[in-house]
Amino acid sequence: MTSDELRTTSSIASDLDFVAADVRSQANQASDSTRHSSFVIRHFSWVVFVIALGLYWGSTRPFGGTYSPVDAYYNLQSAAWLDGRLNIPNKPGMATWDLTRHERKWYVAFPPLPSILLLPEVALNGLEATDTIRLSVVLGALNVALVFATLQGVAQRGWTTLKTGDNLWLTVLFGLGTVHWYMALQGTVWFLAQVSAFTFLGLATVSALRTKSAWLTGALVAAAMLARPHVVLIMPFLLAIVWLQWAREARTVGAAVRWLAKAAVPVLAAVLALFAYNDARFGDWRDFGYLTQNVNDLLVDDLAEYGQFHPHFLSRNLKAMVWATPQVDDELGGSLWPDRWGMSLFLVTPPLLWLLGAVKRSWLVLGAWTAVGLILIPLLTYYNTGWWQFGYRFSLDFMLPIMVLLAVAVGRRVPLLMKVLIVVSIFINAWGAVWFAMITGRFG
């Protein structure tokens, strides 16, 4: 080899060493950036939690503060368990709507997650001091933080292009511009079930983002099922999150099946626990107690004729979710107020119109829309719309993938028009919270 060739070879080697060093430097910077982003997400999520907790707690003050409403029921169930009973005590004058009568005893038909969460407070402080609204407010604030952590997590991985400020705008939309706000202030049996289910779905989503663990993610979904069993249908969304974090060569049908099989173990355990609970209460593992609930007279005929789920209810539920508008309410002086059967998602939260643009071809979008579609099947065929509500409260069951789809749809940043409509949504939902407090006797 000539001296010129040796110099050339040496120069190339030197250049390669320089490039390799530069690549290592960039990799280290990227790793540091990722660790920094993860640190910011974790710690700023707690800041979001504290702010949301203050706002939600303050929101209860005009409506009588925090306590346990007469139709909370879950606190009564916790106390009954501690007394060694499955039925709740039958006291003169007690509220009994949506309770189930079986062998001259009253039972809470709804799955028991909130009662499990309330057990420590009931055991330590007693039934009278237990506060279901306080629990709901804390869980509601945690939900807001989990939405922020989810939005930041998908952005950190490059699946959306929004910055922290834009994700905060969407977090504000969820916290104050959707039905979640007024629902978190109620503490009653129907709303506490949904708020607590969302908490564990949010934890499951963060688990899928950070750990990819099938066991942990499945266990958190299983916990959510102990409040709302059908939310197991969110699994395609969680699988998409995990799938995108696997190396490309690891993305196989077999790998997806194995992940789902592992996640299904705690899910199956939750199903068996619910069946056992049914059998212990009603002597039949298939009987959740819904068909014999003490429901409102306007619902009892439909429940008796068509059952709990039937295509007959599609049009009613679609109307409540998509195109229902405010109605003249004679009980409130003939003014225009929300329809108690439900009101369009797009009137209650106008920025949801951006979902029309969530059509990007990606596993995340496919998983999110699949989860939303699956969850809508039981909701749209259910015998009631979630009535005596503001907006469409059942939307909370699929709101987590919806928030991610919104982040995809808005593109590089939240546009000015959407920010204006987020502010409008806050006023709409404040109006809804006041109205709902009026018709339930907590305000005015």
Q: What pLDDT is stored for residue 333 in this prediction? A: 73
Domain-located, residue 253: yes
Q: How far apart are CA 150 and CA 154, in angstroms?
A: 6
Q: How far apart are CA 43 and CA 78, in angstroms?
A: 33
Domain count of the fold of the chain: 1
Domain-located, residue 321: yes
Domain-located, residue 3: no
Length of the chain in residues, anyone? 444
Q: How far apart are CA 255 and CA 377, in angstroms?
A: 27
Tokens encoding 330:
């004679």
Asked whether 136 and 117 are in contact (CB, 8 A), the reply is no
Q: How far apart are CA 182 and CA 136, in angstroms?
A: 11
Domain-located, residue 268: yes
Q: How far apart are CA 347 and CA 326, in angstroms?
A: 9
Q: Could you tell me the residue range of the domain that residue 336 belongs to?
A: 45-439
Domain-located, residue 221: yes
Pairing of strands 327-329, 335-337: antiparallel
Asked whether 92 and 130 are in contact (CB, 8 A), the reply is no
Buried b (16+ CB within 10 A) or exposed e, 159-196: bbebebebbbbbbbbbbbbbbbbbbbbbbbbbbbbbbb
Q: What pLDDT is stored for residue 155 in this prediction? A: 97
Q: What pLDDT is stored for residue 442 in this prediction? A: 82
Domain-located, residue 73: yes
DSSP string, 199-265: HHHHHHHHHHHHT--HHHHHHHHHHHHTT-GGGGGGHHHHHHHHHHHS-GGG--HHHHHHHHHHHHH
Q: What pLDDT is stored for residue 28 in this prediction? A: 47
- The 3-state DSSP class for residue 309 equals strand
Of the candidates 353, 361, 324, 345, the one whose C-alpha atom is nearest the C-alpha of residue 398 is: 345
For the whole prediction, is pTM greater than 0.95? no
Asked whether 310 and 316 are in contact (CB, 8 A), the reply is no
Give the residue carrying structure tokens 């990722």.
34
Q: How far apart are CA 349 and CA 345, in angstroms?
A: 6
Amino acid at 256: A
Let me know the angle formed at the C-alpha of 48 by 437 and 221, rounded to the nearest 5 degrees: 80
Q: How far apart are CA 49 and CA 254, in angstroms?
A: 38
Q: What pLDDT is stored for residue 36 in this prediction? A: 53
Residues 6+ apart with CB under 8 A from 83: none
- Average pLDDT along the chain, 444 residues, taken 10 residues at a time: 45 41 43 53 88 98 94 97 95 87 95 98 97 98 98 97 97 98 97 98 98 98 98 98 93 95 98 98 96 91 94 97 90 82 97 95 96 98 94 98 98 97 98 93 74
Q: How far apart are CA 144 and CA 436, in angstroms?
A: 21
Please, which contacts does 358-365 make with residues 24 or more away whose CB atoms are closer than 8 Å? 358/405, 358/406, 358/408, 358/409, 360/408, 362/159, 362/408, 363/240, 363/243, 363/244, 364/154, 364/159, 364/240, 364/241, 364/244, 364/404, 364/408, 365/405, 365/408
Of the candidates 264, 392, 380, the one whose C-alpha atom is nearest the C-alpha of residue 321 is: 392
Tokens encoding 195:
């708020």
Given CA atoms 383, 388, 391, 393 in this order, what sign does their dihedral have? Answer: negative
Pairing of strands 105-107, 327-329: unpaired
Q: What pLDDT is stored for residue 12 in this prediction? A: 35
Domain-located, residue 6: no
Domain-located, residue 271: yes
